[in-house]
């Protein structure tokens, strides 16, 4: 039986509408929940399928965890790799400052032309004959003078504080020094090529052929590498690059000019002949002359190799000790 009261009719209708709205909201919520559940399930299925490799499920990793997860540390580079890296640094310095090549390009040309035409007529009476005698000696003198710059650049790096940073790196301790010496070996090679090239243009002929020339240059590079340890030690001891240059030249002058580079020792006084006989540079020049002429003996070459080994064995540990203890 229906009530005729208008207010009651309105009240009943409002209650019915509220119930209908609540039912509709409940139904919509159920549908949304079902849809969300289905979407999550589909996404999970896709994710699982996406992380399968050859049908084998792969566990999904959180990107943040993957980024900070501990990994296997790379193997540290060996001694040779460290030394080559510092050697490459020495070559890059030439790239950025090409003026560093002036000494290895101009010095061989000046020395070869000057001494050939200055002393050729006075000493030998013939420039071409003197060139055959002089060129191996000029080659030795040119390269040995360039070895001075090893200590010079070393002292420059120390003055700027670069080597203090090198000593703090987890690398092979001798690597900065050995690398610098290896880089300078390229400079020695360039100077040797320029000297020999100019000599051949002037008329020099090597009786030992290409093999003799190559062996002579290789022997020179070995000796220059061992001698440069002395100038490297001076670079670690001296207070300024100019002091290194001056002291190194004082060492080189009697070694190069008081030798058999320019003249036959038989024409020298007895006391000077004695010095030339024990001068290691004289033995080096004799061995290189013999290799280029094809007349070298085993004793001449082995003397230079033994002297180079002794120089390295004595000077390298001293240099490294100075390097470690320098404050």
pLDDT interval class at 66 (50, 70, 90): low
pTM for the model stands at 0.73
Query: Lowest-pLDDT range, 9-18, 110-119, 127-136, 284-293?
Result: 9-18
CA distance 157 to 170: 19
Categorise residue 37: left if φ over 0, alpha if ψ from -120 to 50, beta otherwise.
alpha
pLDDT tens digits, residue range 161-185? 887 788 778 888 788 888 888 888 8
Give the pair of three-digit tokens for residue 192: 């040797």
The answer to whether the beta carbons of residues 256 and 280 sit under 8 Å apart is no
Arithmetic mean of pLDDT, 220-231 = 94
Q: Give the DSSP letter of residue 101.
A: G
The answer to whether the beta carbons of residues 134 and 119 sit under 8 Å apart is yes
Which pLDDT value is given to residue 101?
76
The total domain count for the chain is: 1
Which pLDDT value is given to residue 174?
81
Which pLDDT value is given to residue 304?
96
The answer to whether the beta carbons of residues 167 and 195 sit under 8 Å apart is no
Residue 91, in any domain of the structure: yes
Which pLDDT value is given to residue 60?
56
Q: Over 70: is that where the pLDDT of 276 sits? A: yes
CA distance 89 to 87: 5
Q: Over 60: is that where the pLDDT of 315 sits? A: yes
Residue 252, in any domain of the structure: yes
Arithmetic mean of pLDDT, 222-227 = 94
The answer to whether the beta carbons of residues 237 and 326 sit under 8 Å apart is no
Mean pLDDT of the chain: 80
pLDDT interval class at 303 (50, 70, 90): very high
Which pLDDT value is given to residue 15?
44
Arithmetic mean of pLDDT, 136-142 = 93
Arithmetic mean of pLDDT, 28-44 = 45
Q: Could you identify the residue written with the tokens 């100075």?
A: 322
Give the pair of three-digit tokens for residue 151: 């200590």
CA distance 312 to 229: 7
- Count of other CB atoms within 10 angstroms of residue 234: 23
Which pLDDT value is given to residue 62?
67
Q: Over 70: is that where the pLDDT of 52 sits? A: no
Structural domain of residue 308, as residue ranges?
Answer: 79-325
Q: Over 50: is that where the pLDDT of 107 sits? A: yes
Q: Could you identify the residue written with the tokens 């090893």?
A: 150
Which pLDDT value is given to residue 23?
46
Which pLDDT value is given to residue 324?
82
Residue 19, in any domain of the structure: no
Q: Could you identify the residue written with the tokens 């008081």?
A: 258
The answer to whether the beta carbons of residues 303 and 285 sit under 8 Å apart is no
Q: Over 60: is that where the pLDDT of 30 sits? A: no
Residue 248, in any domain of the structure: yes
Which pLDDT value is given to residue 196?
94
Short-list 248, 241, 249, 229, CA closest to 319: 229
Query: Lowest-pLDDT range, 52-56, 70-74, 243-247?
Result: 52-56
Which pLDDT value is given to residue 19?
45
CB hemisphere CA count around 289 (13 angstroms)? 18
Which pLDDT value is given to residue 102?
78
The answer to whether the beta carbons of residues 149 and 115 sit under 8 Å apart is no
Q: Over 50: is that where the pLDDT of 218 sits? A: yes
Residue 275, in any domain of the structure: yes
Residue 172, in any domain of the structure: yes
Residue 53, in any domain of the structure: no
pLDDT interval class at 74 (50, 70, 90): low
Residue 118, in any domain of the structure: yes
The answer to whether the beta carbons of residues 127 and 116 sit under 8 Å apart is yes
pLDDT interval class at 49 (50, 70, 90): very low
């Amino acid at each position: 039986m229906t009530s005729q009261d208008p207010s009651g009719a309105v009240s009943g209708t409002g209650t019915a509408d509220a119930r209908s709205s609540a039912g509709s909201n409940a139904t919509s919520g159920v549908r949304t929940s079902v849809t969300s559940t289905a979407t999550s399930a589909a996404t999970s299925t896709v994710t699982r399928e996406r992380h399968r490799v050859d049908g084998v499920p792969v566990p999904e990793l959180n990107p943040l965890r993957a980024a900070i997860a501990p990994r296997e540390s790379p193997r540290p580079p060996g001694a040779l790799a460290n030394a080559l890296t510092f050697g490459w640094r020495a070559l890059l310095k030439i790239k950025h400052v090409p003026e560093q090549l002036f000494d290895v390009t101009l010095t061989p040309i000046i020395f070869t032309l000057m001494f050939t035409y200055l002393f050729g007529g006075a000493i030998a009476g013939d420039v071409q004959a003197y060139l055959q005698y002089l060129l191996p000696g000029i080659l030795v003198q040119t390269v040995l003078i360039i070895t001075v710059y090893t200590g010079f650049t070393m002292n420059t790096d120390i003055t700027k504080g670069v080597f203090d940073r090198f000593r703090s790196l987890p690398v092979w301790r001798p690597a900065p020094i050995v690398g610098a010496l290896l880089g300078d070996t390229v400079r020695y090679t360039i100077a040797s090529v320029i000297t020999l090239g100019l000599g051949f243009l002037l008329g020099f002929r090597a009786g030992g052929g290409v093999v003799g020339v190559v062996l002579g240059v290789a022997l020179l590079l070995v000796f220059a590498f061992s001698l440069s340890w002395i100038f490297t030690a001076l670079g670690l001891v001296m207070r300024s690059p100019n002091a290194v240059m001056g002291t190194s030249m004082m060492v080189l002058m009697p070694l190069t000019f008081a030798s058999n580079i320019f003249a036959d020792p038989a024409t020298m006084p007895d006391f000077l002949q004695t010095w030339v006989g024990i001068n290691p540079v004289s033995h080096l020049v004799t061995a290189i002359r013999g290799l280029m002429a094809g007349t070298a003996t085993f004793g001449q070459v082995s003397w230079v190799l033994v002297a180079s080994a002794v120089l390295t064995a004595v000077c390298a540990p001293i240099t490294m000790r100075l390097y470690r203890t320098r404050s």
